[in-house]
Every structure is written in C-alpha cells, then in structure tokens.
Amino acid sequence: MSRIGILPISIPSGVNVTVKDHVVTVKGPKGELHQEINPDMIVEVNDGKIEVKRPSDEKKHKAMHGLYRSLINNMVIGVSEGYKKQLELVGVGYRAQNNGQILELSLGYSHPIHIELPKEVKVEAKTDRKSNPLITLESADKQLLGQVCAKLRSLRKPEPYKGKGVRFLGEQIRRKAGKSAKV
C-alpha cells in the first residue's frame, strides 16, 4: 500500500472541493486551483475528507496514487494558507525592485534584468541597509511558485568560492577553498 496515497486529506473550513470529469477544483480564500486527474484514479469527497483510491496494484497505479494525493493536498493547503518563499541576493551592488508584477534585478551584469511575473504570484522586494536584498514571493500554487523561484535563482546561481548569487533565505552553500598562494 502507498503510505502517502492512503492518507485522507482533511478539508479546512472555507475550502470547497469538487470533482467533475476527472478534474479536481479547489476553491478557498486565497484563490482557485484545478488539477486534471488520470481517469483510472478514483477521487472521493465526503464528510470533510478527500480520499484518493487506485483500481489495482499495478506499478503505474501505485505511482499515481501518492502523486495525485500529494498534488490535491498541496492545492488544499495553497488555497487555505498559501505558500511563501524568500530569495536573498548576495553580492556587492545586487539590487531588486518591484513595480507591480515586474521585477527589476541588478545582478552584476552590464544591464538590469526585467522579469514579468505571473499574476498568481505576489512579489515584494525589500532592501534594508546593512543587509542583503530580499525578494518575497507568495502564491496559492506551490508548483508555479517553485518554478518562478527556480527561474530567478538560475539568473545568477550561488557560486562556491565567495557565495555570491541568488539563493533561498537560509540556504547553506558548500564553500570551496580558493587557490593557495605559492610559497
């Protein structure tokens, strides 16, 4: 049995879940999310709980069982509480500003980088003296939020010698020793 797939998902108050034509729709205070489900999988909503069931013990059904349960659980948490990630810019002269959904980054290149973020993601860039600039991203969609963070991080990945780059807040970078001087 799948350890994750068999766990029921409790529906918090204020969240509405509907299943129609193999599409699960979750509505809540933070937004509305949709997820298409494989026709083989069975999703039941009753008594404030969501249960995902599989028709057989085939390998592909076992794999989908835990996957769809996790996706639906992420949707329920997203529309009720939301997800939040923070990115830190480490480096001399690295800056971030947001103007609505457009994020302007100065990451040591010869030009500033302008990125238009999806409307589902809320962005806030904060710069304080004596600390690194912080970019706070919030969304109900965990997958979209992770994708946006990965895109921002890929613009200037943290390098192992000085640790400069875009990294998640609190992320530990494995540092390397530089060249040793001649004796």
Pair (76, 116) in one structural domain: no
**For range 94-109, the mean pLDDT:** 93
> What pLDDT score does 181 carry?
65
**For range 118-147, the mean pLDDT:** 94
**For range 92-109, the mean pLDDT:** 93
Question: Taking 80 as the threshold, does the pLDDT of residue 35 lie above it?
Answer: yes
The CATH number of the domain where 160 resides is what? 3.90.930.12
Q: How far apart are CA 173 and CA 166, in angstroms?
A: 11
What tokens does 73 get?
Answer: 């659980």
Domain count within the chain: 2
Give pLDDT tens digits for 144-175: 999 999 999 999 999 999 989 999 998 899 99
Q: End of a domain among 80, 97, 117? A: 80
Q: Does residue 32 form part of some domain? A: yes
Q: How far apart are CA 169 and CA 146, in angstroms?
A: 14
**For range 62-66, the mean pLDDT:** 91
Task: Look up the domain containing 61 and give its range.
Answer: 9-80
pTM for the model stands at: 0.88
> What pLDDT score does 130 carry?
87
Question: Taking 80 as the threshold, does the pLDDT of residue 114 lie above it?
Answer: yes
Q: How far apart are CA 178 and CA 145, in angstroms?
A: 35
> What pLDDT score does 2 carry?
62
Q: Does residue 4 form part of some domain? A: no
Q: Does residue 108 form part of some domain? A: yes
What's the pLDDT band for 178 if we cut at 50, 70, 90? confident
Q: How far apart are CA 165 and CA 73, in angstroms?
A: 33
Instruction: Find, among 58, 26, 59, the residue nearest to 43 by Cα.
Output: 26
The residue type of 72 is I
Q: End of a domain among 80, 114, 141? A: 80
Question: Taking 70 as the threshold, does the pLDDT of residue 10 lie above it?
Answer: yes
Q: Does residue 135 form part of some domain? A: yes
Q: Does residue 177 form part of some domain? A: no
Q: Does residue 176 form part of some domain? A: no
Pair (95, 150) in one structural domain: yes
Q: How far apart are CA 118 and CA 115, in angstroms?
A: 10
Pair (102, 50) in one structural domain: no
What's the pLDDT band for 3 if we cut at 50, 70, 90? confident
**For range 119-134, the mean pLDDT:** 92
**For range 68-86, the mean pLDDT:** 95
Question: Taking 70 as the threshold, does the pLDDT of residue 183 lie above it?
Answer: no
Q: Does residue 149 form part of some domain? A: yes
Average pLDDT, the chain: 92
